[in-house]
Amino acid sequence: MKLDISSHGRVKVPHGCHISVQTGGVTKTAKFNGECSICLPDNLTEEHLEVELYQRLGTFTIPLTGSLDKEISRIVAEQSHAEGIELEVSAVPALEPQMPQTAPGQSLFGYFEFCSGAPQTQFAVISQDVALRERVHTPRMLVFTDVGEEIDDEAALWLLCQHFRANPNMEVDVVFVTGVPMQRATRWATILNSQADGKTNPVKLHYLSGPQSDRHMRYRTWADADQLRQADMSNIIQLPFDGGEYSVVLQLSPLGGFSDNFESPPTGSAGALSRIVGQDQAAELLHIVVGGVGSTNFPRDDLHLGFQAELEKKGFTLVHVEKSNYMNWEKDMFSTFPPKLVELVLDDEWNKAVGRIPPFVANLFVRFRVNTLVNYDVVDRAYEAFDVDHRSNPNYQKATKWWSSVADQVQQMVREGYIRKSREADDKQGTNAYGNGPVSEMIKGTNISWESLLSRGCIRDILGASKLSETSISCQTVDAVMELAVLLMTSKLLRIYAFNRFVSGRDPDIGQLEAYLSGTKTTAPLDFRNFPELHGDISSIQKEVVGNPMYDPTGMLIAIVAMSANTAQIGTMVDKLKQSAELISVNERVAAMKAAYNKSSPDSLVDRFFGRHATKQKTRPSELARRILVLTDAGEEADNEAALWLLRVCLDAVDNVEVDVVFTAGKPSLRSMRWARILNSQKHLPHVSRISYFAGPESTRPMRHQIGLDENVLKEAGMDDLAIFEGGCYRMVLQASPLAGFSDDFSNPPDGPEGALGYISLQGEKSGKPAYIVVGEEGSANFPKDKLHLDFKAMLEKQGFTAIHVNQENYVHWSGGILDFMPSALVNVVLQDEWSKAVGRIQPSAGTLFTRFRVNTSVNYDVVTRACSSFEASREGDGNLEKAHHWWRTVSNKVKKHIDERYVAMSRAHDSTAGHFGNPKVSSKVQGMEKSWRAAMSEKCVNDIKAAANLSETALLDMCVDDIMALAVLNITGGLLRLYAFTAFDAGLEPNTETCLQYVNGSMSNPPLDFYQFPRLFGDISSTKKEVLGNPMYDTSAMLVALCLFSASPDQRDIIIQKLQAGKEWLSPGTRAALALAAFQSADFRAVLASMGEDASFTALTEEPDIVSSM
């Protein structure tokens, strides 16, 4: 009998819990983080089961070498109330190794597993990852993985996790190997933590660490204990791999770091390979390697050949999974993936598309085939999707024209960089060189010609872009044809780049491409790491490059099938693999892979290999429901979507409220896309019929981030039939965007969405103070002082709406705590958006001089310098940090010169034509204000400038505004560029000084210090990106006010409105932050406020009846 136990209800199960099930003389215990399965004998006679839920207190380790006489250990507490607990353990040597007499799990302390000859044993208090193993036969698999190299490493582990949900009766040890295993484990943990339905690791899936090696990690991720703990993988630090019993060993990586001494292996994980033994009762013992002998995973060296011989000596049969059994990625496989895994897959596949095989790697034959066939078709597919989506966009024509202007220059760089280096590499091969003959010749050592390798798409494009014919191509040399293929791929990619810049209101810059086209001292020409980062949502383009082979998932699928197959079936599998024959057809393999990702049963998967073979309806608003109108320009900043998420979360528990959300400004259908993707990442959430989505009129306003239209995404989110907004009756209007595109004729409004504002009216009576809430003051981005906005406000006030502007006095700010209660898809958008704000300075022509001064010396200053300081503190002692500081000292004077001559000079020129604040001393008062320029600076900025220039307070007050702003901008820029330099050195590269100076200097068409020009970082710095959180949440703050107003009693509403209209705080900053955090958790507002004690600005509200219950 199998018990499936899962948590239910709104209260989350605490971290570190275990379930104990007892009946008669049988006790079973399992780790419980929200769900688990427990198997019991079928012949139970008792009428009841006793189920107990325990919470782990902590862990400790004791040595078992020699005698153990009253060892006293303090546990590593995981609960605050367990701090200081000490346990006394006494032990005497047993006459022979023996198992404890108690049933597994009967003791909270688990049991010892004594292994003959083992020097020590790990001991834990309710150990989290050491499963209580049944004495009945459970097939066990060992997986070696180098997560962080290519994304199919992670995709293979996700396939394993999905299969565990269909087959909990297997047991697997996953060992992270090569490089720094903790970093590889952290990358996998971030994927597990992005699951929408919680983190529920299977009980019998264990994560272990192998030995370190000097192998570099392709996608560098720094070890993060918090990520490991959140993914229930924290015990990996205490559980180094030390061998074990297995029926299948799956090798998805090389084994660097392990010892090749199998005769006298060392202790610890380095010698663990020699302690792998075959599992009794296994149908067959298999050693499965992805890739052939001589491949990346199985080099011909003493370690790998010795490991093969060691396992064969113990009864394992070696098989290699090679090209004949691989299958390619398909987009619909992503439907079961966590959001983070989808993001990483797309990034990895995109990197393969924009990066050419290095000109000195492999041989000329491989380079020619990859560039004219494999990669060519991938890039062509992506560009075709881009072409279909954007051909009618004026920026498409601008990108094409720009490419024509730089094509000759790019071809020269390709020829002198990539092609020349490829020729030099081939010439060095001596007698093994392939030469540079015509492509009609046969390739040395084969019976095929060079031209037979060209894809049809490559031939088509060469004929279209040159004067060559199909017959004259044959006369071209190998290098000439490869040059054309590489140039054509590059032209497609650079047109996508140029379009991305034009869409964002910037111009493409050939200077930014030099490192990519020509390479640097430490990177080859056309290396993906030097391709400029594209901004906005380019997933529709990225998905089209999906199609490379799935190496590790193929190996995992075969291993999973082998775990459930019988002896005869495994024999058939071994015979075919040894002959490099297909196990089943490619279409059948793809179908089996998709089935496995969808948790197909083990028997079903075995059968596939061996034979046997409601549309969502929108509900219109009820006449009794109170109605809210939300006008949003979603897609500008992550705060837009955060406000919608807050509304979505709070509406789940609220009766009698319906909401119309109208996407406005620019192209409304595109603005809806990012929100649709966030909704689709939360497949476990029910559709909320009380939110209806509409499209406002189109306008010429550009979107800050590029995103493509995908009808399938909108359909999945229930937004495919986005209705045209034509007005309506509302109790509240929340304006979180400007109104561009609407008509300003309210006396005789036109039909259609343009005149919709004129058809908005008050729902019900004027009593109760219906509200018109605007994000920002008059004159801000959302409310320019023009006829349209002023007349719209006057019309609503005439109907009885009370106008309220939510300004900077009442904003809440981003924090890591809020992110914990958001979908990972939204978190990714937030981190990217906040990072863009951190690396990009406010434009020198934006706002007024006072605004620029305040942002650079206070708002942005504190956020960015805090993040950079935290990053450097976490890398203290790292040699690469020292190198980054040294590099900065060599470029800082040039950077300062560019800041003075470009950013500050442009800011001064703008002030001379608009604002006219002048360049006074910072001790003087700001024109039109009661406070001084010095008062606008943060104390951290003041102290940093004083320390850097050795200034007294008097000397600082005597400095001019421009000089102070220049020093502040220099400090911010220095911290960011040191961070970039560290990631470059850490990746084994040199920082690109020219790219950094282009970022600082800008260009004729791009402003200085623009986030679009910031150099691409290497490795995963997501933890650092979280440090730049702290900017205001504009729309979310207004949504919080709206929800409280809509829920409050008349007296409470009066208090809130009076404070907001007076420009005063309606809550203190701390209380606002706590209330926002509670709101994102769907908490009871009144209960949360009451628990905080009295707040002088809001005492009256905490004394009123429940704020939320009436919503």
Q: Are 1060 and 1091 in contact (CB under 8 A)?
A: no
Residue 197's pLDDT is 60
Question: Residue 768 and residue 626: Cα distance in Å, rounded?
Answer: 12
Residue 709's pLDDT is 79
What confidence tier does 105 reach under pLDDT thresholds 50, 70, 90?
A: very low
Residue 96's pLDDT is 36
Task: Report strand pairing: 205-209 vs 140-145.
Answer: unpaired
Tokens of 200: 């529920």
Instruction: Using alpha carbons, list the distances in angstroms from residue 276 to 142, 455, 558, 617, 746.
Output: 9, 46, 21, 57, 80
* Alpha-carbon torsion angle 193, 196, 197, 201, nearest 10: -20
Residue 107, pLDDT > 60, answer no
Handedness of CA 1066, 1068, 1071, 1072 (dihedral sign): positive
Q: Are 1048 and 1101 in contact (CB under 8 A)?
A: yes
Of the candidates 669, 631, 657, the one whose C-alpha atom is nearest the C-alpha of residue 782 is: 631
Of the candidates 233, 259, 286, 258, the one whose C-alpha atom is nearest the C-alpha of residue 177 is: 258
The model's pLDDT over 351-377, given as tens digits with 9 standing for 90+, comes to 888 999 999 987 899 899 999 988 898
Least confident of 481-495, 526-540, 858-872: 526-540
What confidence tier does 620 reach under pLDDT thresholds 50, 70, 90?
A: very low
Of the candidates 130, 116, 121, the one whose C-alpha atom is nearest the C-alpha of residue 171 is: 130
Instruction: Tell me the mean pLDDT in the region 240-267.
Output: 95
What confidence tier does 666 reach under pLDDT thresholds 50, 70, 90?
A: confident
Please state, for a pLDDT cut of 90, what percent of the chain lies above it. 44
Residue with tokens 């004929």: 463
Residue 79, pLDDT > 70, answer no
934 Cβ neighbours under 8 A, 6+ residues apart: 922, 923, 942, 956, 957
Residue 181, pLDDT > 50, answer yes
Instruction: Tell me the mean pLDDT in the region 1019-1023.
Output: 71
Instruction: Tell me the mean pLDDT in the region 563-588.
Output: 91
Question: Residue 56 and residue 54: Cα distance in Å, rounded?
Answer: 6
Q: Are 858 and 937 in contact (CB under 8 A)?
A: yes
Q: Are 663 and 671 in contact (CB under 8 A)?
A: yes
Tokens of 929: 């204000």
What confidence tier does 416 reach under pLDDT thresholds 50, 70, 90?
A: very high
297 Cβ neighbours under 8 A, 6+ residues apart: 251, 252, 253, 254, 289, 290, 291
Residue 129's pLDDT is 34
Residue 1108's pLDDT is 33
Residue 622 carries which DSSP code? P
pTM over the 0.75 mark: no
Residue 133's pLDDT is 34
Residue 403's pLDDT is 95
Q: Is 559 left (phi over 0), alpha (psi -120 to 50) or beta?
A: alpha
What confidence tier does 615 reach under pLDDT thresholds 50, 70, 90?
A: very low
Instruction: Tell me the mean pLDDT in the region 716-739.
Output: 89
Residue 88's pLDDT is 61
Of the candidates 984, 893, 1017, the one whose C-alpha atom is nearest the C-alpha of residue 521 is: 984
The model's pLDDT over 1042-1064, given as tens digits with 9 standing for 90+, comes to 988 877 777 878 888 999 988 88
Residue 841 carries which DSSP code? P
The model's pLDDT over 804-831, given as tens digits with 9 standing for 90+, comes to 999 888 999 888 889 888 888 888 888 8
Residue 251 carries which DSSP code? E
Instruction: Tell me the mean pLDDT in the region 529-539.
Output: 82
1038 Cβ neighbours under 8 A, 6+ residues apart: 643, 734, 736, 773, 774, 775, 806
Residue 618, pLDDT > 70, answer no
The model's pLDDT over 970-1006, given as tens digits with 9 standing for 90+, comes to 999 999 999 999 999 988 889 999 999 999 998 877 8
Of the candidates 1055, 1064, 1076, 1097, the one whose C-alpha atom is nearest the C-alpha of residue 808 is: 1064
Question: Residue 28 and residue 38: Cα distance in Å, rounded?
Answer: 7
The model's pLDDT over 429-463, given as tens digits with 9 standing for 90+, comes to 999 899 999 999 999 988 899 999 999 999 999 99
Residue type, 326: Y
The model's pLDDT over 931-958, given as tens digits with 9 standing for 90+, comes to 899 999 999 999 999 998 899 999 999 9
* Alpha-carbon torsion angle 628, 632, 635, 640, nearest 10: -60
Please state, for a pLDDT cut of 70, what percent of the chain lies above it. 84
Residue 463's pLDDT is 92
Instruction: Using alpha carbons, list the distances in angstroms from residue 668 to 502, 634, 693, 697, 703.
Output: 19, 9, 11, 7, 10
Q: In terms of pLDDT, which residue wins out, 27 or 745? A: 745
12 Cβ neighbours under 8 A, 6+ residues apart: 34
Least confident of 531-535, 717-721, 775-779: 717-721
Question: Residue 212 and residue 847: Cα distance in Å, rounded?
Answer: 52
Residue 168, pLDDT > 80, answer no
> Max alpha carbon distance in the chain (Å)?
99
Residue 498, pLDDT > 90, answer yes
Residue 462's pLDDT is 93
Question: Residue 238 and residue 234: Cα distance in Å, rounded?
Answer: 8
What confidence tier does 900 reach under pLDDT thresholds 50, 70, 90?
A: very high
Residue 428's pLDDT is 93
